Amino acid sequence: MEGRGGCHYGRGRTAAGGRARCRAVGSCHTSPSTTALLRRGRETSSSFSSSSSENLRSWVPRSLAKRTQENLFTESGACSVSVQYDPEELVRRNVKNPLDAAKLAVRGFDILFSLGKFFACLKLDDLYGNEAVKSRAAELRETLTYLGPSFIKAGQVLANRPDLIRADYMEELCVLQDDVPSFPDEEAFEIIERNLGRTIGETYSKISKEPVAAASLGQVYRATLKSTGEEVAVKVQRPGVLPTIEKDLVLFRWLAGFLEDYSQRNLGCDAQLIVDEFGEKILEELDYNQEARNIQDFFDNFKGDKFVKIPWVRRDLSGPELITMEWIDGTRCTDPEGIRRRVKVDEFIRVGVVSGLRQLLEFGLFHGDPHPGNIFALDDGRIAYVDFGNVAEISEKNKQVLIDAVVHAVNKDYVEMAGDFSRLGFLSEETDIGPIVPALEQIWTDSLGKSLSEFNFRNVTGKFNELVYQYPIRIPERFSLVIRTLLIQEGICITLEPEFRFLEVAYPYVAKRLLTDSGLRNRLTQVLFKDEEFQWERLSNLLELAQDGNLDLDLTDTIRGLLQVVARDRSLRSQLVAAATHDNSFQIEEILKLLQKFQGGPQLVDSRKLVEEVVTDLPALAAYFVQDLTSQIISPVPNPVYRKK
């Protein structure tokens, strides 16, 4: 939600255990792969860490802050490593003496006056029956812009929160994502030299006189490195932005305390928790040293991917308020005609959707603002991402639940789907999901129509937004980003190809992962078995979906992977043998139907290769299957009865 196209990066974690996972609230365990990240966190222990002092005043009860913090970490499913967001410390730091308290009061008065004026106008409109939604929405945007960075960020957040604000206001607030005033270039150049410890001329042979992109927290210049001649993007943080945001967070939290009853009653959550989610996110975005490390994480995640380009970062030319990274040249998605001239649109779209799904479901680290200005088509057909100012993560637990939700959607299991929403934090544990199940079924049935080609993700979210107002549903901050990301991706794809349908790419991706990823055995079982009966049609559908999503897919590896997953999992293997010998007879007819589906057309399976690879493992696997098969066949035979002589 930052900038208009310059490289602006945000926080994140590596895919392979990049963040310590929580067993329970307050306890973490780490694998060796997390050691470096934990060390990184200690290196950047920021000014947000808490300190003990008996004489400092606090407006926030310690127990409340602790409870809110625990709720925040519990919901994320992961432990915070590098940035310790502590609302109590923010209060203490901003009211430690009368002068600071006075500054906070002045800021509070300015905020109350500006917002009070806006809400007074809304009240008058209501009293006199005036319909001025469009003009009032524009006034709200202008008011937030006047109040500064934290309010601009808040407006950007609200633009993606249908559970908190109506649709016509959301549309107007989206302008804040692309239209933010820049700050003076002289100040920016002073910040650059202060962070580098030397003059601009010693580092860059040339630099643009004006920013190429401006955002709520910083702006970006284009430059050329003096040492190598490489072109780079230079991101500079707004001067004085941190103290202003800290004061605003203190005031936000104080106001949230008055709204707690309302938020609990209407949103099913603590208003201060919403503020804490926002505060944790915005403070992490201001940690540019962390951003530089996060760029490297993203770079490492896609290392070796021949379809995706992530910029490199120069850590030695970065600092607390400065990041120097590779400049990306290509055709922005804001120029669909240019993209159509340069690349194969269908392949570019598929690569973009799959790379987005990999970020979400494999790495757990995803780009939170993939708007058209932040995505490029390179001349060689690759997709490139820039502007990582809004990067978020999904915990391992939530990644699995998201895959569960896709599985339950495919199986039309709406009771389990409602349970997935509860596990993801959309519903509180006390909420009765009974009334929500038929509503979810209606939404999904209406949106899917008769086939995948009729599915439109925006229609689903539009109907889900209506559900938000009927039931105690709250969209967690990270999932509002997920939803927004998917909507933006679908919008870009439809602009490039009007007939594009998201599920036609997403389902095949998930299908292939289910078939080949041994870590998803439980999910595969849910798809292939229902009421302890093997669903041959579902297996057939999965194979077809996996084929549809990859024009060059060789199902040899897919089938071999499936056989290995099934053969090495005793429970799954036993169920498959039981299904194949249902009613004491082999289900030859079902197996033949499955094989016939893949006859004719392009060769999808290299039979010779498949047989050779399976035979290699045959001695070990055969013993398992023979044992299970023998047990299944002889189980109906009664044990002999021996008579006593």
Does one domain contain both 497 and 530? no
User: What is the CA 267 to chain-centroid distance, rounded?
Assistant: 22
Whole-angstrom CA distances from 523 to 23, 408, 411 are 21, 10, 12
In a domain, 316, yes or no: yes
In a domain, 518, yes or no: no
Q: How large is the average pLDDT for residues 47-55? A: 33
CB 540 within 8 A of CB 515: no
Q: How far apart are CA 331 and CA 534, in angstroms?
A: 48
In a domain, 541, yes or no: yes
- Does pLDDT of 187 surpass 60? yes
Catalytic option among 369, 413, 420, 569: 369
Whole-angstrom CA distances from 246 to 109, 250, 278 are 16, 6, 12
CB 211 within 8 A of CB 237: no
Which helix (H) or strand (E) covers residue 534, if one does?
A: strand 533-534
In a domain, 641, yes or no: no
From 368, 374, 370, select the one nearest 332 (Cα to Cα).
Answer: 374
In a domain, 116, yes or no: yes
Does one domain contain both 217 and 310? yes
Token pair 């909420």 is found at 431
Tens-place pLDDT, residues 285-306: 888 988 888 888 899 999 989 9
Which helix (H) or strand (E) covers residue 493, if one does?
A: helix 477-496
Q: How large is the average pLDDT for residues 546-562? A: 57
Does one domain contain both 496 and 596? no
Does one domain contain both 229 and 278? yes
Q: How far apart are CA 328 and CA 311, in angstroms?
A: 7
HSE (side-chain half, CA atoms, 13 Å) at 47: 12
Q: How far apart are CA 110 and CA 631, in angstroms?
A: 78
pLDDT value of residue 636:
52
- Strand 213-214 relative to strand 218-225, pairing: antiparallel
Higher per-residue pLDDT: 538 or 221: 221
pLDDT value of residue 33:
32
Q: How far apart are CA 565 and CA 571, in angstroms?
A: 11
Does one domain contain both 528 and 597? yes
| 622: containing domain | 524-634
CB 315 within 8 A of CB 111: no
Tens-place pLDDT, residues 469-503: 777 787 777 787 788 788 888 888 888 888 888 87
Does one domain contain both 213 and 107? yes
CB 336 within 8 A of CB 377: no
Q: With H, G, I as helix, E, B as strand and everything else as coil, classify residue 220.
A: strand
Does one domain contain both 489 and 538? no
Burial degree of 471 (CB within 10 A; 0-12, 13-18, 19+)? middle
Q: How far apart are CA 210 and CA 229, in angstroms?
A: 20
Question: Is residue 322 very low, low, confident or very high in pLDDT (cuts 50, 70, 90)?
Answer: very high
User: What is the CA 413 to chain-centroid distance, rounded?
Assistant: 24
Q: How large is the average pLDDT for residues 128-155? A: 87
pLDDT value of residue 373:
77
Tokens describing residue 16 = 């392979």
Does one domain contain both 20 and 81? yes
Residue 225 pairs in a beta bridge with 204
pLDDT value of residue 532:
61
Number of domains observed in the structure of the chain: 2
**Which of the 8 DSSP states describes residue 26?**
T
Average pLDDT, the chain: 74
Contacts of 292 (CB under 8 A, 6+ apart): 9, 313, 315, 318, 323
Q: How far apart are CA 80 and CA 20, in angstroms?
A: 8
pLDDT value of residue 531:
66
In a domain, 456, yes or no: no
From 151, 242, 150, select the one nearest 191 (Cα to Cα).
Answer: 242
H, E, C per residue of 113-153: HHHHHHHHHHHHHHHHCCCCHHHHHHHHHHHHHHHCHHHHH
Q: How far apart are CA 3 and CA 181, in angstroms?
A: 10
- Does pLDDT of 317 surpass 70? yes
Tokens describing residue 467 = 């559900």
- Does pLDDT of 620 surpass 70? no
Does one domain contain both 37 and 166? yes
- Picking from 458, 486, 501, the residue at the C-terminal end of a domain is 501
Q: What is the pTM of this model?
A: 0.67
Burial degree of 637 (CB within 10 A; 0-12, 13-18, 19+)? exposed
Tokens describing residue 555 = 């199902």
369 is catalytic: yes
Does one domain contain both 615 and 480? no
Question: Is residue 564 very low, low, confident or very high in pLDDT (cuts 50, 70, 90)?
Answer: low
- Does pLDDT of 327 surpass 90? yes
Tens-place pLDDT, residues 332-361: 887 889 999 999 998 999 899 999 999 998
Which helix (H) or strand (E) covers residue 332, if one does?
A: strand 331-332
**Which of the 8 DSSP states describes residue 381?**
S
pLDDT value of residue 208:
96
Does one domain contain both 576 and 479? no
Tens-place pLDDT, residues 92-141: 888 888 888 898 999 999 999 998 999 888 888 888 877 788 888 899 99
Residue 213 pairs in a beta bridge with 220
Token pair 């992109």 is found at 213
What Rg do the C-alpha atoms of the chain give, in angstroms?
Answer: 28
HSE (side-chain half, CA atoms, 13 Å) at 119: 6
- Strand 383-385 relative to strand 308-309, pairing: parallel
Amino acid symbol at 169: Y
Does one domain contain both 49 and 181? yes
Per the rule left: phi > 0, alpha: psi between -120 and 50, beta: everything else, 601 is left
CB 497 within 8 A of CB 529: no
- Strand 313-319 relative to strand 231-237, pairing: unpaired
In a domain, 343, yes or no: yes
In a domain, 404, yes or no: no
- Please state which of the ranges 236-250, 425-439, 510-524, 616-630 shows the lowest mean pLDDT: 616-630
CB 614 within 8 A of CB 563: yes
Q: How far apart are CA 357 and CA 366, in angstroms?
A: 9
Q: How far apart are CA 164 and CA 259, in angstroms?
A: 13
From 171, 124, 174, 119, select the one nearest 143 (Cα to Cα).
Answer: 119
